[in-house]
Amino acid sequence: MSLFSSVWLFGLQQNTENRTNLALADTGFLPSDQQVSSEFRIELFDGDRGTKVNVLENLTLNSGEWRQIGSILSQYAPGTQQGYARVSRIKGGSPFIIYAVINDGSAPGERTGDGAFISSLP
């Protein structure tokens, strides 16, 4: 759970053997009269070049909501085989959780589908 406004995720992969899903959760840990939606921005970076390749804006979660973005590099940074992300909360006050899972298989149904958990860093 993060009390920071931005966190980093390292080790994202999209290649012939692996894909990465990224998940966001608004914990909803605020009194009911203070609960508002949270808005996030995800900046994606190419790990080989160290350059920003895309920015996802206006990702809104309601209080207590969880969302997963499957194969994030394939969808939003085509051609990036390994990278990292900075996720920033733009609006909202609840603590949030950001993590990624590297799945065995470049697409669902390929290889074992086993996943390795990546936690975020402040």
Q: How confident is the model at residue 70 (pLDDT cuts 50, 70, 90)?
A: very high
Closest by alpha carbon to 96, among 17, 42, 44, 46?
42
Q: What is the rounded CA–CA span in Å between residue 13 and residue 15? A: 6
Q: How confident is the model at residue 37 (pLDDT cuts 50, 70, 90)?
A: confident
What was the pLDDT predicted at 57? 96
Cβ atoms 54, 111 nearer than 8 A:
no
Closest by alpha carbon to 69, among 26, 6, 27, 22?
22
Taking residues 61-76, what's their average pLDDT? 94
Statement: 6-119 belongs to CATH 2.60.290.11: yes
Per-residue pLDDT tens for 44-62? 999 999 999 999 999 999 9
What was the pLDDT predicted at 1? 44
What was the pLDDT predicted at 121? 75
Q: What residue segments make up the domains of the chain, in order of their start?
A: 6-119
Q: What is the rounded CA–CA span in Å between residue 109 and residue 104? A: 9
Average pLDDT, the chain: 89
User: Got the DSSP string for the chain?
Assistant: -B-SSEEEEEEEE-SSSEEEEEEEEE---S-GGG---EEEEEEEEETTTTEEEEEEEEEEE-TT-EEEETTHHHHHSTT--EEEEEEEEEE--S-EEEEEEEEESSSTTSS---EEEEE-B-
**Residue 31, pLDDT above cutoff 90:** no
Tokens of 117: 């958990």
